[in-house]
A and B are shown apart, each in its own frame.
Chain A
Amino acid sequence: MKRVILLVTAVMLVAGCESMPKVQPWQKGNLAKPEMAFDPDTLEARFADHTYFSKEAASGGAGVGGGGCGCN
Chain B
Amino acid sequence: MRFAKTLAAVAAALSIGIASAQEVGKTAPAFDLPSSNPQNVKLADLKGRVVYVDFWASWCAPCKQSFPWMNDMQAKYGAKGLTIIGVNVDKKRDDADKFLSGTPAKFTVAYDTTGKVAESYQPKGMPTSFLIGADGVVRAVHVGFRDKDREDLEREIAAALTASGRK
* Interface range for B: 20 to 34
Interface string of B1-23 (1 = CB under 8 A from A): 00000100010011001000000
Question: When the two chains form their complex, are residues B59 and A25 in contact, meaning their CB atoms are under 8 A apart?
Answer: no
Q: Give Cα distance in the complex from A24 to B123, angstroms.
A: 9
Q: Are B59 and A7 in contact (CB under 8 A)?
A: no
A61 to chain B, nearest CB (A): 29
Q: Which of A14, A25, A27 contacts B125 (CB 8 A)?
A: A25
Using C-beta atoms within 8 Å of the partner chain, give the interface range for chain A. 10 to 19
A11 within 8 A of B: yes
Could you give 27 example pairs across A and B, Cβ below 8 Å?
A: A7-B6, A11-B10, A14-B10, A14-B14, A18-B14, A24-B115, A24-B118, A24-B119, A24-B122, A25-B123, A25-B124, A25-B125, A26-B115, A26-B118, A26-B123, A27-B89, A27-B115, A28-B59, A29-B58, A29-B59, A29-B90, A29-B91, A29-B95, A32-B57, A32-B59, A32-B60, A33-B59
CA of A7 to CA of B14, assembled, Å: 15
Q: B residues near A, CB below 8 A?
A: 6, 10, 13-14, 17, 55, 57-60, 89-91, 95, 115, 118-119, 122-126, 128
Interface majority SS (helix, strand, loop, mixed), chain A:
helix
Residues 1-51 of A contacting B (Cβ, < 8 Å): 7, 11, 14-15, 18, 24-29, 32-33
